[in-house]
Amino acid sequence: MVITVKMPGERDKHAWRIELLARRAVMSATEREKEAFALATAMDTLEALGWVCAYVPVAGEPGSTAMLDALVAGGARILLPVTGPPGPLSWAEYTGADALRRARYGLLEPTGAVLPPDAVTRAELILIPALAVDLRGVRLGRGAGYYDRTLPAARPDARLVAVVRDDELVDRLPEEPHDRRMGWALTPRGGLRRLGDHYAGE
């Protein structure tokens, strides 16, 4: 069963961010651990081989490095984002949690060689952090615009998967012309769900 949130009236992205971040802030450690375990277990359903672009969940984002380790155990190689000045993300390969360092915005990034932004073209699967995603595939990020600048270079056939909590899969979000729609949502309880014209609610 998909859990969606219906919020009356039109609201801008700033208002959505305030509410969603407030919800994440009051989650218990126990609930976070349950969600992280569920998402790590769900990696088997992604059938990810070859290169995958992913990220390290931080600051209340659902999941943990266990997601990445599960993908590696399944035969994938992982590229993680490396942030710089505003623009497309650079990348570096994930080789384990012990090879991550603290970076800007509280992120964790690999300590290895940095690859240029066009490394995103290697990936058939891209796991993307989000504060929410709607049933059409519209994603709400934190507003820095890194993924908006990065995803246009992704392969046309790349699977774009927004990773969110179950109540962050919502009916409708505000959309701007530059927004790139997601093809799937991955949630702890609901698992992998197709979005857009292919979405079928339960």
Looking at residue 65, what is its pLDDT?
97
pLDDT of residue 132: 97
What is the reported pLDDT for 3? 42
**Successive 10-residue mean pLDDT values, the chain, 202 residues:** 43 90 95 97 91 94 96 96 91 96 90 96 97 96 91 95 97 90 97 80 43
Q: What pLDDT does 201 receive?
A: 47
pLDDT at 198: 59
The helices-and-strands tally (H runs, E runs) of the chain is 4, 12
- The pTM is what? 0.90
- The CA-atom distances, in angstroms, between 69 and each of 40, 73, 77, 85 are 8, 6, 10, 29
pLDDT of residue 6: 44
Burial of 69 (0-12, 13-18, 19+ CB in 10 A): middle
Compute the C-alpha angle 170/176/182, nearest 5°. Answer: 50
* pLDDT in the model for residue 1: 40
H or E stretch at 147: helix 146-150
Q: How far is CA 166 from CA 34, 110, 178, 197, in A?
A: 12, 28, 25, 20
